Structure 1
Amino acid sequence: MAIEEWREIENGDDDDGNLETQLLMKRKEGLEEDEVCSRRSNDMLYLSTFVAVCGSFQFGSCVGYSAPAEAAIREDLNLSLSQYSMFGSILTIGAMFGAISSGRIADYIGRKGAMRMSACFCILGWVAIYLSKEPILLDIGRLLTGYGIGVFSYVVPIFIAELAPKNLRGGLTTLNQLLIVMGASVAFILGTIVTWRTLALTGLIPCFTLLVGLFFVPESPRWLAKVGEEKEFLSALQRLRGKNVNISAEAVEIQSYIETMRSLPKIKLVDLFQTIYIRPLMIGVGLMMFQQFGGINGIGFFASETFASAGPSAGKIGTIAYACIQVPITVVGVILMDKSGRRPLIMVSAAGTSLGCFLAGASFFLKGRGLLLDFVPMLVVAGVLIYIAFFSIGMGAVPWVIMSEIFPINVKGVGGSIVVLVNWLGAWIVSFTFNFFITWSSYGTFFIYSLISLMTILFVIKLVPETKGRTLEEIQTSINSQ
């Protein structure tokens, strides 16, 4: 059914009653067919999501690479601790540059084009790491992979959100976080089995899988509509929903929204601070700040040292449990995303991370005063595991989902880049300062993180809208009306 015909009916311009009846009957028939063909019609959507989250898996592989490879790389290349620290941290610097440019790139060459480019950067980076015999090539490789995952961290959730129908969008977008966790876990496990050079080569697998898969999936329909490719837009939307599904109403809604956005001026960075855009910017930036400054990268990167500092018995048990708990809990978050809603999930998650940090802080407080020393290791392990479990169920994924939903299509590039940049900057600050804070006061560090998690709940109550069950266009209307 043509978009123009639907607009005629909506505007009351159709003079042929029979045509209106026929169109409405087609819609009714299409809606009935939707339910019958739902499983088949979602095949392309699921394939597209799988291809996209190969970028997320690559993200996790890059993050998880440095820990298991540290001893072997330092021995083979004769690196000092400071040289290896540079190798580890330069990933975040590359990711910041990727975040800054990600929105513009995804807007200019499309979501698929941005993912292709990111995969190529990661391939070059992994090859450089594999071939490196000097620190400089090692760092260049790490910087390239960092840039690639910086772009991936923006474009993957955006691409999935723009493809998915509203009833599946939350769960599918959450797969981004699940595959990040899986990629890191796989890298950690493989790193105990294979050499560091072989481990670098395994990082090529998700890149090549993504590059091949992109030939078989459509571009984001909303991006195609934005750049004026109406024929390709309709074709992509039909492929995603299924050949027997009536897409007319959804196509009209998307096109109408895009046309409204086209009437607005081209957005620059300074324009984000206008009244119409400041609310989604505050939501996106605020959630990323609370996610990072709640301590995830400090606690995650140095979990083994945290367990060991509480007592010898906590080290091995805590590290194994930490490695095993993230993936199944993240799966639970995927299931709950479109059932419980974004707001309840993130508030429950923040409450749990606050509790976990409080328990860990209390254990170090007791240890410092020589109280209940037999219970201190168990309390540290319990606190950190509660923290990571509740983080994985909501705080890890929900900010990325909401980021992909709240920005209008005309500011998604600039706004999304700023939000992702804030996330990576926060990740660097927390991971860099964690050891300094622990040296200052181990219990004080965890109490600060606990307080920040509590502040997250207040922030969500005050500013964050519920986006569950709404189209991206309905979300914009809701945000602008508040």
Structure 2
Amino acid sequence: MGREIHNTDLAPESLLLAKYNQDSSAKTITLLITTLVAVSGSFVFGSAIGYSSPVQLDLTNDLKLSVAEYSLFGSILTIGAMIGASMSGRIADLVGRRATMGFSEMFCILGWLTIYLSKVAFWLDVGRLLVGYGMGVLSFVVPVYIAEITPKDLRGGFTTVHQLMICLGVSVTYLLGSFVGWRVLALIGMVPCVVQMMGLFIIPESPRWLAKIGRWEEFEIALQRLRGKSADISNESSEIKDYTQRLSQLSGGSIFDLFQPQYAKFLLVGVGLMVLQQFGGVNGIAFYASSIFVSAGFSSEIGMIAMVVVQIPMTALGVILMDKSGRKPLLLISAIGTCIGCFLVGLSFLIKGVTPSSEGTSYLALVGVLVYTGSFSLGMGGIPWVIMSEIFPIDIKGSAGSLVTVVSWLGSWIVSFAFNFLMSWSPSGTFYVFATVCGLTVIFVQKLVPETKGRTLEEIQSLIGYVSL
């Protein structure tokens, strides 16, 4: 999922405005504001991830936590996220995308408040678990909602801002954590939650969800708001209606329905991208970058600063290029780059094992990590979430999206948990394994992933072969 520490030089609003001004047709202030409200949830996501790193020393000293207790506090976030992700799709289908975002924020606010008031490790863990649950729900519903409300020519860039806002959330939290205590930082974590909850009262529901449940009058009103009062929505409206009615004649979209033959390629693409994204080593590198630099004989401070300088600009570049070059070329370039990066890091450890006194190996490790980080930020960090939000038909989007999101969080936990054991086994071997997975990603993308640029969601699903329009 690409959850790293980032720089905050580039504002997501400027990137959205740049996309927004490219083509004045079918774009409104409502669409822009709606997207910004939605990605406030992405910022919450990033804040939760970034919280544990800067407060570690302060928190452990204040509450006299052991290493094991703090490790549980940090890792329980992922467990909560897996629980939230497993329920997110069903909740979003039952109550709508907008209400689901509000539901998740209530858990996040309660979690942050619990952390703030905690005096023992147990309540810290409860608060962290609640924040993780809300984060898991947000990780599904935000990109899905943005994909469902945006025109086809802007969908990729707008959806990728989800990843950029995660980066900014991590960065801001890490920065603030250097100046304020852990309790104050927990209170600050509630601010973007409240901002999104207030914004939810003024944004429209997803038109495609309204169509799915047969609220046709509200569907027309929401779509017209998002496209502008003077915009002609007749063609888009008819396409969505026809497609939704065709789907209503098929399966009900339960979790068991996912394993029918007609859904096989959807699941293969969606789950496959998430598995390859996580097992390509992103969270091992993101969570343990400092120790990687130290192991390679390089300054961890300089290495982390260099990562910060690379990540946000590359993520921003991916946002800008998403609807120009397309998803597939960016994914291929990104996967090739991550493969090269892992190979270089593995090579640096291999050379260091043979000639420990070689000074060049530390610089080779730095170059490898930066190549990996920049390449991942360009495409593999955000595009799998974009494609996940695009490819699933509306009747199975909830169940399929939940499955894909749980797979992503499970992969994240496995890699972050196993990374130190793998490094003890063989540092070079660890990165060669990651390089191999990244190489397989290139083949997977080339052979199986469809290009979704410039197509409506209904056209994409028809292209994969679900139902004819």
Shorter-chain-normalised TM-score: which range? over 0.9
Return the structure number with greater helix share: 1
Q: Secondary structure at the match of 1:454?
A: helix
2:33 alignment counterpart:
47
1: distance between equivalents of 2:205 and 2:170? 28
Matching of residue 404 in structure 1 with residue 395 in structure 2: no
Alignment counterpart, residue 118 of structure 1, candidates 67, 81, 104: 104
Contact 1:94 1:143 (8 Å CA) reproduced: yes
TM-score if structure 2 supplies the norm length?
0.93
1:36 Cα deviation after fit: 12
1:447 alignment counterpart:
432
1:41 Cα deviation after fit: 3.6
1: distance between equivalents of 2:417 and 2:22? 53
Q: Pairwise mapping of residues 251-270 of structure 1 onto structure 2 (< 5 A)?
A: 251-270=237-256
Matching of residue 334 in structure 1 with residue 319 in structure 2: yes
1:136-162: CA deviation from partner (whole Å, max 9, x where unpaired): 000000000000010000000000000
CA 1:37–1:323 in structure 2 vs 1: closer, same or farther (change >3 Å)? closer
Q: Pairwise mapping of residues 208-219 of structure 1 onto structure 2 (< 5 A)?
A: 208-219=194-205
Q: Pairwise mapping of residues 242-257 of structure 1 onto structure 2 (< 5 A)?
A: 242-257=228-243
1: distance between equivalents of 2:356 and 2:294? 18
1:30-57: CA deviation from partner (whole Å, max 9, x where unpaired): xxxxx99927842111111100000000
Contact 2:262 2:466 (8 Å CA) reproduced: no
Contact 1:314 1:381 (8 Å CA) reproduced: no
2:368 alignment counterpart:
383
1:242 Cα deviation after fit: 0.3
1:220 alignment counterpart:
206
CA RMSD of aligned residues (A): 1.5
1: distance between equivalents of 2:234 and 2:31? 18
Alignment counterpart, residue 268 of structure 2, candidates 282, 290, 301: 282
2: distance between equivalents of 1:430 and 1:158? 26
2:185 alignment counterpart:
199
CA 1:39–1:252 in structure 2 vs 1: closer, same or farther (change >3 Å)? closer
| Structure 1: runs of 5+ lacking an equivalent | 1-34
Q: Secondary structure at the match of 1:133?
A: coil
| Structure 2: runs of 5+ lacking an equivalent | 1-20
Residue type matched to 2:453 in 1? K
Contact 1:41 1:243 (8 Å CA) reproduced: no
CA 1:270–1:345 in structure 2 vs 1: closer, same or farther (change >3 Å)? same
Q: Percent identical across equivalent pairs? A: 55
1:15 alignment counterpart:
none
Q: Which runs of 4+ in 1 moved over 6 A?
A: none
2: distance between equivalents of 1:39 and 1:241? 8
Q: Pairwise mapping of residues 344-423 of structure 1 onto structure 2 (< 5 A)?
A: 344-370=329-355, 373-423=358-408
2:6 alignment counterpart:
none
CA 1:290–1:40 in structure 2 vs 1: closer, same or farther (change >3 Å)? closer
Residue type matched to 1:279 in 2? K
Q: Secondary structure at the match of 1:233?
A: helix
Alignment counterpart, residue 150 of structure 2, candidates 164, 168, 171: 164
1: distance between equivalents of 2:177 and 2:427? 30
2: distance between equivalents of 1:36 and 1:351? 30
2: distance between equivalents of 1:152 and 1:85? 24
TM-score if structure 1 supplies the norm length?
0.91
Alignment counterpart, residue 176 of structure 2, candidates 186, 190, 208: 190
2: distance between equivalents of 1:305 and 1:376? 15
